[in-house]
Amino acid sequence: MFELRLVQGSLLKKVLEAIKDLVNDANFDCSATGFSLQAMDPSHVALVALLLRPDGFEHYRCDRNISMGMNLNNMSKILKCGGNDDIITIRADDGSDTVTFMFESPNGSANFEMNLMDIDSEHHGIDESKCCAVVRMPSSEFQRICKVLSSIGDTVVISVTNEGVQFSTRGDIGTANIVCRQNINVDKPEESTVIEMSQPVSSQFPLRYMNSFTKATPLSNTVTISLTSELLLAVEYTIAEMGYIRFYLAPKIED
Amino acid sequence: GSKQSTITRFFSKI
């Protein structure tokens, strides 16, 4: 049997809002490591990795590893049936082809059963060692930059140098360049912009995906943007005390 | 011009 109980149920709602437009169907893997997911978008341009660790739940029981295939739009619909302050319990019996969501509030409870799906998926090894630039900044600022740039162009060039991180785009009406410099706020670390770089790096990415990733903004005050030497982009939002949601995005490359 | 690469080339299957 698998069962988890999340007191702050709104957190799971925010997770679903962050990924449901990027990925249609995905396997949620339940193991001693936690409640996790790895899935690509249908075009295989982006990959999302989610981990919610067992100690973040009020109760977490996983007798054996199971993989629950879910349509994320349907899961989101069910989560919206619960109130924002509800406690959420998710339960699946071994061998069952359904999963049960229970919502509890001081006023009562509600149960929803959702059909599971068989989804073919592969797990991917993620090599963090090739990282050559890391930028941590306020997530709201990153969201604003992606939104502003997508009103001008379709693609953003992200360049990290000793000067800071530059986001640039070009469109029919002209060009846009936004530079964020390192800025460490000791009193409010969540408002800091911190840049760590082993070598300058620059690459371009579709803004449509970047804007999709920023739907995770309500999960965290800060976002960490990493670029590897192979120009793979990783955008990570930590989920307080529990884990993370990471988005990986493949670059646009010269023909 | 530039073309979009796919994510699969960056990850090894487990």
Q: List, for residues A24-72, the tens digit of each pLDDT value.
A: 999 999 999 999 999 999 999 999 999 999 999 999 999 999 999 999 9
- Among B5, B12, B13, B14, most A C-beta atoms within 10 A, so best to mutate, is B5
**Residue B12 confidence (pLDDT):** 77
Residues of B in contact with A251 (CB under 8 A): 5
What mean pLDDT do residues A114-126 have? 86
Model pLDDT for residues A144-164, shown as the tens digit of each residue: 999 999 999 999 999 999 889
**DSSP string for residues in A153-213:** -SEEEEEEETTEEEEEEEETTEEEEEEE--B--SS-GGG-BEEEESS-EEEEEEHHHHHHH
Q: What is the pLDDT of residue A73?
A: 96
Mean pLDDT, residues A78-98 taken together: 94
A44 part of contact set with chain B, CB < 8 Å: yes
Asked whether the beta carbons of residue B10 and residue A230 sit closer than 8 angstroms, the reply is yes
| pLDDT of A194 higher than 70 | yes
- Judge whether A206 is closer than 8 Å to chain B, CB to CB: yes
Tell me which chain B residues have a C-beta less than 8 angstroms from the C-beta of A125: 11-14
Residue-level pLDDT at A83: 93
pLDDT at A105 over 70: yes
Helix and strand numbers (H, E) in chain B are 0, 2
pLDDT in tens, B1-14: 889 999 988 887 76
Separation between Cα atoms, residue B7 and residue B14, nearest integer Å: 15
Query: A197-255: per-residue pLDDT in tens?
Result: 999 999 999 999 999 999 999 999 999 999 998 899 999 999 988 999 999 999 999 87
**Whether pLDDT at A109 is above 70:** yes
Structure confidence at residue A242 (pLDDT):
94
Q: Where are the alpha helices (DSSP H) in chain A?
A: 10-19, 72-80, 139-150, 207-213
**Cβ(A245)–Cβ(A239) below 8 Å:** yes
Residue A123 is classified by DSSP as -
Residue A129 has pLDDT above 70, yes or no: no
- Is there a contact between A222 and A238 (Cβ–Cβ < 8 Å)? yes
Tell me the two tokens of residue A90. Answer: 């998710």
**Strand ranges for A12-121 from DSSP E:** 25-31, 34-40, 46-52, 59-62, 66-71, 87-92, 98-105, 108-115
For the residues A6-31, what does the mean pLDDT come to? 96
**Whether the predicted pLDDT of A126 surpasses 80:** no
For residue A48, the chain B residues in CB contact (below 8 A) are none
pLDDT for A130 equals 74
Q: Are A201 and A232 in contact (CB under 8 A)?
A: no
